[in-house]
Structures are given as C-alpha cells and as structure tokens.
Chains A and B, each alone.
Chain A
Amino acid sequence: MTHDPMAEIRASFFVECEELLESLQDALSVMADHLEGDGSQDTETINVVFRAVHSIKGGAGAFGLTVLVAFAHRFETVMDELRCGRLVVDHEAMKLFFQAADMLADHVRLARDDASGSPPGSETLLIAVEALMGERAPELEEEEVAFAPMGLSFDLALPDLGDAADLAEADGRCWTVRLRPLDALYASGNETFHLLRALCELGSASITCDLSALPDLDALMPETSCLGWTVQLTGGIEESDIRAVFDFVEDVAEITIAEAQEVAAELGLAAPEPKPEAASAPAISPPCLSLVPDLIVPPLASAATASSALPIQPIALPSERPTDPAPDRLAAPAVAAAAAAPAEAAAATVRVDLDRIDRLVNLVGELVINQAMLAQSVTEAGLPANSAVMNGLEAFMMLTRDIQDSVMMIRAQPVKPLFQRMARIVREASAAVGKEVRLRSEGEGTEVDKTVIERLADPLTHMIRNAVDHGLETPDRRREAGKPEEGVVTLSAQHRSGRVVIEVADDGAGIDRPRVREIAIRKGLVAPDAVLTDAEIDNLLFLPGFSTANQISALSGRGVGMDVVKQAIGALGGRIAITSERGQGTRFSISLPLTLAVLDGMVVRVAGETLVIPLSSIVETATLSAHDIRSLGPETSVIHIRGGFVPLYDLGTELAYRGPKASYEGGIVLLTAQEDGSRAALVVDEILEQRQVVIKGLQHSYGNIPGVAAATILGDGQIALILDPGDLVENATGRTRSADTILALAG
C-alpha cells in the first residue's frame, strides 16, 4: 500500500468538515430559537456560523476544491452581511440559511467523493440567499475587510508588553537580540529554530516574530527569507554567550544585540498587521507545501521544551504559518465548540481508529468469559462463600463489569449527528408536501453504539418522512382542528433500564383506526369479523403488504413500508411500539440494546446441548398440557394458546440433535414472535437461566448455519450457539411426530 500523506491530510480535512457542519447546524438552530424568542441575535452565534463556513472554504481552497470554495465563498459573503448587522434575520432567511447549510454539506460530500459539479439546485439556492442582501451586491474587497478582525491564531504572535516590562525589572540585564536571516542561512542548512532554542536555553526569553517583510501568498517565494525575530532575554547573560549562539550564522544573518532600553518601541514595530487572508487563498505552490511539515513541528517542540525549562514564555515562532491553512481550521472548531457551550470548557477528545476499539471490545469480551469460567471453577472447588478467594473474585467481577461498561462507552456516540440529519429530512419533506413543520429534538447527548447509530439512520428517515407526510395534517386541517399551523415532530432519545429508547412523535391527527381496519380487511390481512383492540389495529401498520404506493396517498394515517422499519429495528435487536391518540398525534417508540456486542439471552438446554435464544424474540414461556397440542399433518403439530394456533417446532429435531419425541405433554415451549407478527412455539428440554452473553460471529470461522445467528462462550468455557428464531422457523421442517416409517424414509 502506498502511503500518501496528502491523502491523509485530505481525509482529516473532511472529518473536520463534518464537525464544522455540525457546529454550523447547531448555531443555526440556536439562531432559529432566538428568532422564536425575542428576535434578537447573539453575535457570537452568528460568528460561529460565519467561521464554520469560512473554515470549510479555507480548507477546501488548500485542496483545490474550487466548486466547494465557490459555494462556501458566496454563502460566507451573505453570512458576513449578517455578521456586520446589515442583514436582518427573519423566518424566510432562516429557512434559506438552513437550506444553504444542507447544500454546503452536499458540496462537501461531493468533494469528498471526488465527484465533479454541483448538487442540483445549488445555484438557485445561492441566488435566493444572495437576494437577501438586496441592493448590496457582493464585492470582492468587502471580503478582505471582513477578514481583518478574524486574526484567530495570530493573536498569539503579538508581544505581551507587560511581560517584557516585568522581565526588565526582574533581573539586572535585559538583552534585545534581533535576528534577520538572509536567504543564505537557510540555503546553508541552518535552522533558525535551533538558534532561537539556544537563546531560550540561556535565560528567560520572549520571542516575537516580525512578519512585516512577509509578502502576500501569491508573491511569496519559498526559498526567500522574509522573517525576523526579536528576542527579549533576561537573566545573568553575557553578550559573549549570545554571540556564541550565532557563531556559525554571523555571515548569513543580520544580527543585532543590544541591552534593551526602548523595549516598548521595538515591540511596537515588531507587531505587524496579521494577514490571515492568506490562509484562504486557494492556490499554494507545491514547494511551499512541502515545507509546511518541517515548519510546523518546531514551534510545537519549542513550546514544549520552553515550558519545561522556563517559567515565562510568550513564544511565538510560527511565522510561516500563514501559508498553512491548518491553524485557521484547527482554531475554528475549538472556538465554535466554546461558543456553543460558553459555560463548559471544551472537552478534550482523541480520534481513535474504530478497529482498535473493536479489538479492545473483543478483549474485554474475553475477560468477561474468563472471569465467568474462573467463578464457575471456584464454585465447583467448593470454597466457602466468605473465603478470601471468593471475596477477591467478587471484586474482580465488579471490576470486569465496570471495564466492560467503560469500553462499551467508548464505542458509544451521541445521537446528535443522526438527529441533525433528521432535521434536514424534516426540512426537505415538509417543503415537499407544503406543510409547516418544526422538529424538536430531545436528548441529543444520549449515547448509543456507533453501529446502532449507523443502522438506525434509514429506519428513522423513513419514520420522520412518514410523520411529516402522513402524521401531520395540512395547515388548513390543523386550523380547523384549532391547532397551530406549524406541526411539531418530536425526536427524542433517552436511556431507560439498560436500553436506549428513541421516540418519533407528531402532534398530528393520530391513526384513523376504522380506516386502517377497513384497509386491512380489504387486503385480507384480518378477518372481517375479527375483534381487534386499538393496539392491535395500530400494529396492523407493521404488517407487510398493509400499504402499497397507491393507497398511501388516499390514507390519512401512515404505513409506508413500516414493515421494513420494523424489520430493520428487529435486526438491531430492538423493538418498536406505536401509540396513538385521535386528534393528538402518534408516537413510535423504538427500544434498542446499548450495544451489539452483548445480547440478552435465555439459556436453554435441548438434547444435552446448551443454546441461547435472544430474549427480544421470546414473548412468553409455557408448559404444554395434553389438550394444548393438536395434530396438523401426519408429522406436524400446532398448539392452541390464547385462542390462536401456533405451529410447534422441536428444537432438538430442527437442529438434528435427535428425532421427535413421543409426546410433548409437560414439555416447555418458548413462544416467539417474528417481526412480521407470525408466532412459533419452540420446544426445549429445560430453561437454565437468563443472562447477557458476548456475541461471537461464526461467519469468519465457519460460515452461515441456517437458524443460527452466532455463538457465545459460556461460563464453563463451552461454546453455545445463539439461535435466530426467525431464520430457524423459515428453514424448519416442523416435524414433531414420528411415524418410524416416515423417519426411515426421510432419513
């Protein structure tokens, strides 16, 4: 594999883009809230919006993503108008800003996928957004003016006069060393960083960089030296010591060493106007770029060394930084984050490869299994319960559980990005059907396993679209019903007893139950004379084939592929429930496991083998009595339970552990329900326990086995298979009675 540093930098740019887009969305939401409130806008929030767009533009420029730059630039110009208070935000503008932010996200995605061109509607939207500025057509000069107050990271370069004055007082002699390297210094392989560090080692140093000779980026020659440094040195330093530092570079640099008196005047000169616009200039000459890594490292290193060696160090070496877009990009998210939550300090984060985390999760899984094995053998050894070993083991178990929880937390991510995507779906869907809809999201900080989040996006999109399209009434209807015209879709997430519950609720008309029932009867899904409770009618929506495209338009309720949604949720080990109240709205709630690495299972024994059945698929357990069992065909049986007939499957036979039993009277059955509502009764010999098991895939080591989802390792070190009841029933023979002759023929 070829290692391309540029590709890496590019990848991290797009990661940062995602963060910037997130903070952009956040800030826009805050603005929308302000608008709902007293109408006044907080300048810091507007700045966050501006900086996010600006930073994306800056970074995109460095990678030559011209289409993205062009879009971001025009968007930014409008945001700048806003920032300068020349543009008043109203509902219409807010809507356009949101759309522009969505469009910007599309642009970023296109650029990331190396696709050329613009997303559809980009130009139209820009014109609409720019129309907000009215007569004031965007001028190019204005942009540059706009940059001036944004000197983000360059503020660091400004000297601290107070410190310098303090220094002079603190110790007898104070030197001002001015260093201006000639081109030849660099050409001869010298490095100013080392010189400056050597000066730092002499005593307390305060270094200021002189950027005054720095040309604009387009005029910058990478081989030209255009920087100068002023170093304030204090401490008992002799002039000869300082001279010694420059021994080898005397000929190739202008060096002046003076006892400092007119410190303030010097520094006044040395503080140039920052030129941050260079950061966003699109073209950077290649030799310049190749310099960047070398130039970036020293300042960081120097800060580290200086801070350990010296008490005072307003050191600012990074003079070459204007050629590098990084500071600007790096600074903006931090600022944005700080602005989003002014009260909290920005949390320190680390970006880690997902693979590494997965390995950790696996190892912790091993630990849990090992601990269980240890516990079992200690118990078998017959040690007294209060012995030191048992106590130690108990502490070990607690620790293991804590570690497992913590590791799972690493994989967990807040649902916020997912919810932000849904905000966009609401905006698009509501625009498509001409309804005023507001998305209220709650519990954005709730953390769920990353895989769960990823696989939740599709079903949630579906549900949100449904809520907007079918859940909410048209504005006219809402007015008639005495509701505000603007419908509200609420998306919420919360932790509830070891699971995460995500709810999608609307304040629409609710499910029209007579109509749903009528359709279900017409489609032959229920018998015309069936007595159905409200909940049962609501659940008809999840039946496959309940609705097809031509029916939904006529239906005021919902049901667009809800069976697909239910299936997707089921695949994640979750369940979906529906509650609805006529005229008040409908609420779907999804309950999901926190992680996909462990599973709540029922451990059962069948024909001497231990099996695990996911608890989420078991509805109830029952003991069979003789009159429950009815024969169906020559080999198959059904059981009669709660007024319905459920096919009976013998797990021992289905998994080929043994033939059918002579009688199932007194046998234990697990009643399972599939996502499509079909039920099955599985015969087991014994129910052992309910416990959490760590899921081990079989796919890699063996392959797919019909009816088996995965494997797990039990406390005794044995492997137990985790069944997939849905798949099992699909492939099942249903043989529960053996005529010996039939068995012989079949065998």
Chain B
Amino acid sequence: MIETRSQSSTEVELLSFRLAEQEYSVDIMSVREIRGWTRATPLPHSPPFMRGVINLRGTVLPVIDLASRLGMPPVEGDARNVIIVVHAGGQSVGLLVDAVSDILALPRTELQPPPELAADCAHSFVQALTIVDGRMIRVLDLSAVLPTYQTEAA
C-alpha cells in the first residue's frame, strides 16, 4: 500500500480533501475514482461510521463516513459531498468526504511523522503530516481507516 508503493520513489503524490474544515490526503495510487454523492443503503447492525452500501457499476461498495470514523460529527450528505473510491488491503471502499481540493506532489522528505498525542482518537489514522502553503495536511493511513469487516460485522 502507501508505504511499499512510494518508498521506492522520492516523490509522493497525494489527493487532498476537506473534512470538517481540516485537510486530509491519501496516496493517489490507492484512489480508484471519485464519485458524486449518492444515497447509500444503510446496513443494519453496522458500526455508526458505516454509511451503507452504494451501487458502483453493479458491484456493492461499502461507504465509510470518514468524519464519523475519525471521531468528528458525521458528514451531512448532500450534493456537494463526494465519495472517494479507494482500494487498499485487497478491498474497495468508498470514503465520504466534504470535498476534494487538490492533487499535491511532494518530496517524501517533507512528510513528518505525527507527534504522539493520546487524547485525540483521529491521530492513529494519520500516517504523516506535511505543510503546503501554510496549511497542515494530514496523510491518512488507509489500512487503519478501513474496518476489518468480518470481525466487526459478525
């Protein structure tokens, strides 16, 4: 995934998006497509951040409310929101975010590990931090974000 893919090169490309006034990003290599908001069919007995499933050209795609997953208030869900379809750890999943902002190409050296702060549950999902034009951008650790369905659903 992120680590193995990008360690070979000195540069990393990130897709950045907005989530509750904060800026996050994921390695662009794990992004499959970006879709407009469609209503997800809720799944019973699923964790609160599980928004449900949507029809992605005939396959059933689970959608995670990323804000809720990171411990923030859930995304409202309207036409302005987008779903980023990512593929990581052998599974595809949709991440519901507020809006996609930019594609950033950065030297790997500019990524810094996040400092240890125990109070915030979101920080374990953050793999690295970087500053672009004075804005702090968090690089998500997708493997931590994606739920292990089998155990959670069973």
Q: A residues within 8 Å of B by Cβ?
A: 362, 365-366, 369-370, 609, 654-657, 696-698, 701-708, 711, 713, 717-721
Q: Is B59 an interface residue (CB 8 A)?
A: yes
Interface: B44 (CB within 8 A): yes
A721 near B152 (CB under 8 angstroms)? no
Please state if A696 and B154 are interface contacts (CB–CB under 8 Å): no
How many chain-B residues does the 8 Å CB contact rule pick out? Answer: 26
Say if the beta carbon of B54 comes within 8 Å of chain A: yes
24 A-B residue pairs with Cβ-Cβ distance under 8 Å, sorted by A, are A362-B58, A369-B55, A369-B58, A609-B41, A654-B44, A655-B44, A656-B44, A656-B45, A657-B44, A696-B59, A698-B53, A698-B60, A701-B60, A702-B43, A702-B149, A702-B153, A703-B149, A704-B154, A705-B45, A706-B45, A707-B44, A713-B58, A719-B40, A721-B44
Nearest 4 pairs of A and B residues by beta carbon: A703-B149, A703-B153, A655-B44, A366-B58
> Which of B41, B54, B62 contacts A721, CB < 8 Å?
B41
> Which of B4-51 touch A at CB < 8 Å?
38-46
Tell yes or no: B150 within 8 A of A by CB.
Answer: yes
Chain B residues, CB < 8 A from A362:
58
Bound: A711/B59 CA distance, A? 10
Q: Are B91 and A705 in contact (CB under 8 A)?
A: no
Question: Is the CB–CB distance between A705 and B53 below 8 Å?
Answer: no
Shortest distance between the CB of B44 and any CB in chain A (Å): 4
Contacts of B61 in A (CB 8 A): 701
Q: Is B92 among interface residues, defined by CB-CB distance under 8 A?
A: yes
Q: Kindly state whether residue B57 has any CB partner on chain A within 8 Å.
A: yes
Q: Which residues of B contact A654 (CB under 8 A)?
A: 44
Please list the residues of chain B having a beta carbon within 8 angstroms of any beta carbon in chain A. 38-46, 52-55, 57-62, 91-92, 149-150, 152-154
Whole-angstrom CA separation of A708 from B55 in the bound complex? 17
Give the distance in Å from the alpha carbon of A708 to the alpha carbon of B46 in the complex. Answer: 12
For B149, what are the chain A residues with a Cβ–Cβ distance below 8 Å?
702-703
- Distance, CA A705 to CA B43, complexed state (A): 8
B53 to A, closest residue via Cβ: A719
Given A704-B150, A706-B44, A708-B43, 8 other A-B residues pairs in contact with their CB atoms under 8 A:
A609-B41, A654-B44, A655-B44, A657-B44, A698-B60, A702-B153, A705-B153, A713-B58
Report the bound CA distance from A705 to B50 in whole Å.
13
A235 smallest CB distance to B (angstroms) = 60
B55 engages A701 (CB within 8 Å):
no
A657 B42 Cβ-Cβ under 8 A: yes
Which residue of B41, B54, B62, B91 is within 8 Å of A720 (Cβ)? B41
A727 vs chain B, min Cβ distance (A) = 12
Give the chain B neighbours of A718 by CB distance below 8 A.
39, 41, 55
CA distance A702 to B43 in the complex (A): 10
Contact check, B55 vs A717: say whether CB atoms are below 8 A apart: yes
Q: With contacts A365-B58, A609-B41 known, is A704 near B153, CB below 8 A?
A: yes
Query: Does B55 contact A705, Cβ atoms closer than 8 Å?
Result: no
The closest CB in chain B to the CB of A707 belongs to B44
Q: How far is the CB of B94 from chain A (nearest CB, A)?
A: 10
Residues on the A chain within 8 Å of B46, using CB: 705
Q: Given A718-B39, A718-B55, A719-B54, is A701 in contact with B44 using a C-beta cutoff of 8 Å? A: no
For A704, list chain B residues within 8 Å (CB).
150, 153-154
